[in-house]
Each structure stands twice: as C-alpha cells, then as structure tokens.
Amino acid sequence: MKEASTLRKVVISSTFATGIFLAAPQMADAALGDQTLRTGMSHPDVKELQDALKSKGHFNFERSTGYYGQITADAVRDFQRKNNLQVDGIAGPQTLSALLAKMGGQASSSSSSSSQASTSISSNLLRFGSSGRDVEQLQHKLKEQGYYKHSITGQYGRVTEAAVRDFQRAKGIQVDGIVGPQTLSQLLNEPLPSNNTVTTERNVTQTANTVVQAPASSNLLRVGNSGSAVRNLQSQLRSVGVFNQEPTGYFGEVTARAVREFQRIHNLSVDGVAGPQTMNKLSQVATNQSSSNNVSSSSSSSNQTAEPSRGTTNRAALMTNLVADGANYVGVPYLWGGQTPSGFDCSGLVQYLFKKQGVSIPRTVAQQWAAGTTVSQPAVGDLVFFETISKGPSHNGIYIGNGQFLHSGSSTGVTVASMNNSYWKSRYLGAKRL
C-alpha cells in the first residue's frame, strides 16, 4: 500500500502546486512484444526494438529509425545467436520475450525500492508526456486491474493514456486521460480527499480548454491561446504548406499538429508549442514575410486577418512544400529502381517528390547532378550528392536544413540523416540547385 500512498501524494501535491499541467508529448509507450517484426516493416515498435537492441550492444546504426532493414535484421540475428535462439533475423515471440526479459531486469531494478519513490515526486498531475517512477507506479496499478497490458516503461504515452481512459470509462468518471484526484481515488479505492482546494480532473480539463488570450509580448504560443499572434502564426504555417485552412486566431489541435509537422521538417524539438526556436525558423522560411515579423509585434493588427502571400508559388514555398511532402514517406522501404511509395531508390524518391510539386527532373543520380547548378552551401530543397558505390555521384538526397538531408538508403529506406555523420561526410561531393 506504500506505492499507492506515494502515488496519491504525488497527484494531490501537484494539484496544490499548479492546478494544471500543459506538457508537451515526450515519448510514446513501448508496446514491443505485441507483434512479430520483420524486414520491410516501418512501425514505432521497430524503433523500440532498435533502441532495446542498441542498449544491449547489438544495433550499431547511428540512430533508431523505425524501419526494419538489413542492419536491424543483422542486429536481431546477433542477439539470437548470443542467446541460443533460432537465427532467422525475425523478431518473433521467442526473440521478443528474451529481449524484453533482459530489458525488464533493468527496468525492475529502477522501481523496486518504493522507499525511494518519495524522492522523485513530480510537481504536476500525471498525464500524457509525464515520466518517471510515479508513472511506473501508475502503470503497475493499471496493470493489476487489467487496463494496462504492456511493459512498465515509466513513460506516460499513448498506451498509458488509453489505459487511463478505459479505466475512467469503466468507473463512470470524467474521461480525459489525466490522472488527478478523482481518478486516483477510484484507482486506489480510497475516498476523495475532502480538502476543497483539491482540483478534480473535470476542473483541470475545463481550465486546459479555456481560451487564453495570448499577450502581445508572449514568446510562447500553445493550445488554448488566441488572438492576433496566433492568427499570424497560422498564416505563416499556411504559407509553408503545413496549415491548410483559413487562419482563425485560435490555437487548437489543428494548429498544434501543423506546428509539430513544421518542427519535424526542420529538425526542431517536436512539441507542438510555438516557442522562440520554432518562431525564428518560421520567420526565416515563411513566404508571407509581410506578416512573418516577430509575433510579439502583431498586436497592432489584431483586427486584421493575416492572409498568405500570393507569392506562395515562389521557390521558398515550393521547397518547403517539397520537404513537407517528403516527411510523409519516411519509413518507406528501399527498392532498387523504385519510384513509387511502394519503394524508392535515392533518385526515384527525389524525382517523385519534385514531380508532386509539378517540377519535372531527370531520373538518375548522374542526370540530376548534371541538370543542377552547383552551390557552395546547400539551402532547403537543394540536392546533396555523395560518392558511394562508384566513382562520381552515385547517391543523393534532399537537403532539409540544419545539416540534415532526406534520402532513401539501401539499409534504412526513406529516412533523415546527418551530413556530419562520418560515413556521409567523407563521401560528400557537393550540392546542386534545380
């Protein structure tokens, strides 16, 4: 019952401290073990598999990609070989059970001592994006009652939130996916504290959904804000092709999704919050520059609806839209000669994405190299070329900014890679602008 007491203390103290928690998502729950994973698959579970294999020294690629290619299959074979399993490169029930058993041994050690739990008390309600020992305890409690059926991760992501919602629905209480006093009372089968300063989930949800007028000087825009600053933000997002409706001046989930998409494209922290980094990058690439000045100075135009520039067909918009489209194909497998979403080779991906923007370019790497104009430093949308399997340009991708490029690699499928990676840096030939 000590764990229950600690968990109860966490939520109640958090309510006194803040009353509300507006957190950005950090990591989805691991659901590794739910399905067999094999070559050609692209799925969040594959990323979890790669992370687990990497922690055990079997997966040596620079980053987990979520795509099950040859490198992942080799890592699985290595794990199977060293654990006396059938060596087939497929992460089936036996392999996943063995891997999860090893990972579970580590996880359990971090949560076995309930006496230390009080030292990691959170200052916020437990909800999507929370992490730590308190979330581990929550998952244990939900698992005991049959609502959470996955490994204990300490990460409050999509699986944990769904379990909380199922629990709330079954108990006939507010279904919001937030663990506050009312949910905790039902979970621990204890009476709700009588102290009238404790806020229920319903209060929290109502507060979270209240429209907050964003002050003109605010340097942070997020869900719930409204006003001319938000309208300008939406107009800028629209000009780069990630917000597909008229600006409303209200920052809701549609706007948050657009912000997250923009952040993904430009390799920023993906949290759906328009903070200084996001706004600075947006001001650099937005095509409606008349309204892309500092958002904080937009209060004087609060009665005007910012419209996207008529020049959205210029190169900046074209390249940004091209990169935005490219992000939709991350995880598509590599296919020699492939030029459709069923599979791409490197130049096939480049040609396909340009064609979607109405631009016809040559098919092969060598032809694309010859057709472009050499630039000393690549800008977003320029092609970057590498010498890999033969003398001269034999591989290419699309530069997306911040030293990153989108490409279809033979071992990764469509993915984003760093030009500073030792492999690509040593093989870089140059950049071309089409």
401, containing H or E segment? strand 395-401
Which residue is catalytic, options 58, 150, 266, 346? 346
Q: SS3 for 242?
A: coil
Whether 150 contacts 165, CB under 8 Å: no
398 in Cβ contact with 413 (< 8 Å): no
193-201 long-range contacts, CB within 8 A, separation 24+: 193/12, 197/15, 197/16, 198/12, 198/15, 198/16, 199/15, 199/19, 199/20, 200/174, 201/173, 201/174, 201/176
Q: Residue 150 catalytic?
A: no
Residue 346 a catalytic site member: yes
C-alpha to C-alpha distance for 97 and 105, rounded to whole angstroms = 12
Q: Report the alpha-carbon distance of residue 404 to residue 62 in Å, rounded.
A: 14
85: burial class by Cβ within 10 Å (0-12, 13-18, 19+)?
middle
Measure the CA–CA gap between 131 and 128, rounded to whole angstroms.
9
Bridge partners of 279, per DSSP, are none
Q: What sign does the CA torsion over 188, 194, 198, 200 have?
A: positive
Chain Cα centroid distance, residue 95: 27
Q: Are 273 and 24 in contact (CB under 8 A)?
A: yes
**What three-state secondary structure class fits 252?**
coil
Tell me, yes or no, if 407 is annotated catalytic.
Answer: yes
Q: Write out the E strands in 309-394.
A: 339-340, 343-344, 373-375, 383-386
Active-site residue, from 58, 150, 266, 395:
395
Cα of first residue to Cα of last residue in the chain, in angstroms, is 66
Calculated CA dihedral for residues 209, 211, 216, 220, nearest 10 degrees: 10
Sign of the CA dihedral running 407, 409, 413, 415: negative
Active site residues: 346, 395, 407
